[in-house]
Amino acid sequence: MYESIELNETECEALLRAGIVGRAAACTPDGPHVVPVNYSIFDDAVVFRTTPYSILGSQPRRSVIALEIDHFDTEHQRGWSVVARGRAEMVTDAAELEDIRSTWDPGTWAAGARILYVRMRWSQLTGRRLGSGWDLMATVPGRRAV
């Protein structure tokens, strides 16, 4: 068994910037809600798209949300996880939306119009890994060239 090793903020940010898919989490009156999302990083913030009537799109503005990304290697029993936490805000400025779309639009895989852009500037970035002596960046699922 491997010991759990905390990642520093620089390592967490590098993994977050390289990823494409994660799980967004929000607290709702019915309890926690977790949804897979495609995301991008724009101006030191996580940006993803959703529908206005979804759980994530209908959360009160400035509510605290989280995004978690990870990788598990079951063969070698090792892996890593990064969690970014911050307040959700809707991106509504037309010029800012155009900048996001032209830089790295967080595409969607699911059918339907995901017209609402949600931004989360992380206030907390934490992570950990199991095992050492391997390249965490090489394991980022769907790795984005950074």
Give the pLDDT confidence of 24-35 residue by residue, as tens digits.
999 988 899 999
Mean pLDDT for the stretch of residues 62-84: 92
Name the token pair of 73: 């290697």
Quick one: pLDDT band at residue 2, thresholds 50, 70, 90? confident
pLDDT at 17: 93
Is the model's pLDDT at 145 over the cut of 80? no
pLDDT at 146: 45
Mean pLDDT for the stretch of residues 80-85: 97
pLDDT at 144: 59
* C-alpha gyration radius of the chain: 16
Where is pLDDT greater, at 137 or 7?
Answer: 7
Mean pLDDT for the stretch of residues 92-117: 86
Give this prediction's pTM: 0.88
Mean pLDDT for the stretch of residues 115-140: 90
pLDDT at 142: 65
Q: Which residues contact 36 (CB under 8 A, 6 or more apart)?
A: 21, 22, 23, 24
Name the token pair of 50: 């959703």
Q: Give the C-alpha separation, 127 to 91, whole Å.
A: 27
Mean pLDDT of the chain: 89
Decide the pairing of beta strands 46-50 and 116-130: antiparallel
